[in-house]
Amino acid sequence: MGVGRAVLGVPLGANGLALSDNAFYVANTDKAALIKIPIEADGTPGAAVVLSTSDPATCLPLKGADGITADADGSILVAGNAGNALVRVGPEGNETVLVKDGPLDGPASVALATLGSKKYALLTNFGLVTLLAMKTPRTGLLSYGPIE
């Protein structure tokens, strides 16, 4: 069962969207996956390819894949709100968890910012799962980094 069905009772499909290197990238929340849709030379979309998908039993590390952003190195940063993690997916689909738990509370959106010579990920906390558990969510804007 996907995250949307488990938490909200409805499936959540395409969510985050990013453009990089002649391709669109789409986060699929319920499938805990990152999809790559190449842009053909004539501007039409090519065949969608699953770039990265999570363990079917746990949906980790992309559980609740939500907001995404493209990095200059061709990787995509994914805010996994139900997995409470920020994950980097490399151009070949390899996944690296950059940060998990700690100050995160359902990260929903992610953007990159360069301050001086260092790069940081800026994230928003959604906090829905915490709220549904009748606890006080830690909503807000977070900075993580510097990241390499």
The identity of residue 140, as a single letter, is G
Give per-residue pLDDT as tens, 84-131: 999 999 999 999 999 999 889 999 999 999 999 999 999 999 888 888
Q: What is the CATH number of the domain that holds 41?
A: 2.120.10.30
Q: Tell me the H-state helices in 9-142.
A: 128-132
Give per-residue pLDDT as tens, 17-63: 999 989 999 999 888 999 999 999 999 999 999 999 888 788 889 99
- At residue 132 the predicted structure's pLDDT band, cuts being 50, 70 and 90, is confident
Q: How many domains does the chain have?
A: 1
Instruction: Domain of residue 119: give its range.
Output: 3-147
Residue environment code for 100-117, b if the CB has 16+ CB neighbours within 10 A, otherwise e: eeeebbbbbbbeeeeeee
- At residue 10 the predicted structure's pLDDT band, cuts being 50, 70 and 90, is low
Sheet holding 23-28, edge to edge: 14-20, 23-28, 33-38, 49-53
Report pTM. 0.89
